[in-house]
Amino acid sequence: MAPVAKRPPGTQDILPADRPYWEALEAAARDQALRFGYQRIETPIYETTDLFVRGVGEGTDIVSKEMYSFSDRGGRSLTLRPEGTAPIVRAYFDAGMQVEPQPVRLFYIGPFFRAERPQAGRFHQFYQFGIETIGDASPLLDVEAIVLGWNWFAGLDIAGVTLHLNSIGDEVCRPAYRQLLREYFRPYLAELSETSRARFEKNPLRLFDSKDPQDERLKHNAPRIVDHLCGPCAEAFHVVKEGLAAQEIAFELNPNLVRGLDYYTRTVFEYQHESLGGAQNSLGGGGRYDGLAAALGYRPTPGVGFAMGMERTAIVLKQSKPLTPLIPEVYAIALEASDELYVFRLASTLRARGYGVIFDPGLARLDAKLRKAAKRGARVALLVGPEEREKKQIVIRDMHSKTQTSVAERELLSTVVQMLGAR
């Protein structure tokens, strides 16, 4: 009979062999976040659909075609979270964080869901590490977010990351720029790709998201928003660039970087990596979202943050340095069924002292069990047969040198300490 179920498309199992990379990513995320004073927050995996419709924006790809929405038993529409910022802004107000000292610095690590066409580096369920700084509009907080992200990659020894930077203005300067873009593209409408033609009316900034070669030349010559920023937006962008230069972080000004979510204002940035290639070359990105709180119906409150893709960063980390899972050093073998409980107890004694011990139950030939111990990467094997048990002795085998000695039970710990060091 065939198995009833397969892994759903666009999902993946994070197997033990992958785990060391994920743990390294998470440890580095916690480490960097805490150094900058960010505290961890977990919001639910699902929210009311309206949160994303109003926060992320109706015209965005995420809301228009990538959400996993469903009705609960009361007929309320819920959605598996496609992104973390709108939920965290909601949580900020729900928990009354607006009355705490500002800004509030939060970070998260968890799964997100988007019904995009699966391909290498793109999944239906994926994990992000993200930060949000809410309640202060200082452009130096944009710099802080960018530096924190940059340090995350550096702390993981990931080389080859390029920082792309742009400003997309705010509600003061963006409407006029949008108009300017429409005027620029209008004569070429027939030459644009179908997707871009659709974006032309709804949100012409998104024309820059097009990966279509046919749109490239037009994009290249289009007016750049950084040349049309209002005074305050231009000043903020200047501070961001100065701040990054002072931190000696190189960036590429990328007028094509607009990002797909409606809530961004002013600074937007993305970390790209050459080895990922193609459309999926972004490891993470973020920006300022001073209009989001108001779009969600709260008091206008500025914010800035980023989200990093854990799967893509794990792929890059794997390419740069091999990591192996932590494995127990000691392998405990009973030669006969009557010795098993005795060996089980020895294993417990060593674990209580901080050693990792694998207990091997069941009867098998000694050489087969030793082969298993070697395969598991054990450094020391404990062997007990009826003779040893009677004399309260244990054979301790050094798996590397393949030599073994017999010790009394009370010498077990000191011998293991001698061989492996204290724990």
Give the residue with the Cβ less far from ligand AMP, 128 or 355.
Answer: 128
Which of 18, 26, 50, 116: binder of ligand AMP (CB under 6 A)? Answer: 116
- C-beta separation of 288 from 168 below 8 A: no
Question: Closest separation between CB of residue 311 and ligand AMP, Å?
Answer: 5
Among positions 125-144, residues that touch ligand AMP (CB under 6 A) are 126, 128
Q: How far is the CB of 332 from ligand AMP (least distance, A)?
A: 41
User: Per-residue x/- marks for ligand AMP, 267-286, CB under 6 A?
Assistant: ---------------xxxx-
199 binds ligand AMP (CB under 6 A): no
Instruction: Please check whether residue 126 is in contact with residue 111, taking contact to mean a CB–CB distance below 8 angstroms.
Output: yes
Closest distance to ligand AMP from the beta carbon of 257 (Å): 11
Query: Which value, to the nearest 10 degrees, does the dihedral of the CA atoms of residues 241, 245, 248, 251 take?
Result: 40
Binding ligand AMP (rule: CB under 6 A), the pick from 309, 333, 357, 397 is 309
Q: Which is nearer to ligand AMP, 244 or 283 (CB)?
A: 283
Per-residue buried b or exposed e for 11-27, using 16+ beta carbons within 10 Å of the residue's own CB: eeeeeeebebbbebbee
Q: Where are the alpha helices (DSSP H) in 285-384?
A: 292-295, 310-320, 340-352, 366-375
- Among residues 287, 292, 289, the alpha carbon closest in space to that of 271 is found at 287
Residue 421 CA neighbour count, 13 Å, CB half: 2
Q: How far is the CB of 297 from ligand AMP (least distance, A)?
A: 22
DSSP at 225 = G
Q: Does the protein bind ligand AMP through residue 287 (CB under 6 A)?
A: no
Residues 346 and 394 sit within 8 Å (Cβ to Cβ): yes
Distance CA 182, CA 229 (A): 17
Q: Which amino acid is at 216?
A: E
CB of residue 258 to ligand AMP, shortest distance in Å: 12
| Number of residues engaging ligand AMP in binding (CB under 6 A) | 16
Give least dist CB 89 to ligand AMP, A: 14
- Of 270 and 340, the one with the shorter C-beta distance to ligand AMP is 270
- Name the nearest CA neighbour of 134 among 170, 166, 101: 101
Closest residue by Cα to residue 139 from 269, 288, 250, 262: 288
Check residue 307 for interaction with ligand AMP (CB under 6 A).
yes
Q: With binding defined as CB under 6 A, does residue 291 bind ligand AMP?
A: no
Q: Residues 62-101 vs ligand AMP: string with x where CB under 6 A?
A: ---------------------x------------------
Residue nearest to ligand AMP (CB): 309
Is there binding between residue 204 and ligand AMP (CB under 6 A)? no
Q: In Å, how far from its chain's centre is CA 135?
A: 24
156 binds ligand AMP, rule: CB under 6 A: no
Applying CB under 6 A, does 122 fall inside the site for ligand AMP?
yes
CA 333 to chain centre: 40
Which residue's CB is nearer to ligand AMP, number 61 or number 411?
A: 61
Distance CA 180, CA 175 (A): 9
CB atoms within 10 A of CB 180: 16
Beta bridge partners of 107: 40, 131
Residue span binding ligand AMP (CB under 6 A) among the ranges 195-203, 290-298, 303-311, 361-369: 303-311
- Which range in 123-131, 169-177, 232-240, 366-374 contacts ligand AMP by CB under 6 A? 123-131
Q: How far is the CB of 63 from ligand AMP (least distance, A)?
A: 13
Q: Minimum Å distance from CB 264 to ligand AMP?
A: 10
DSSP 150-187: HHHHHHTT---EEEEEEE---TTTHHHHHHHHHHHHGG
Q: Which residues bind ligand AMP (CB under 6 A)?
A: 83, 114, 116, 121-123, 126, 128, 282-285, 307, 309, 311-312
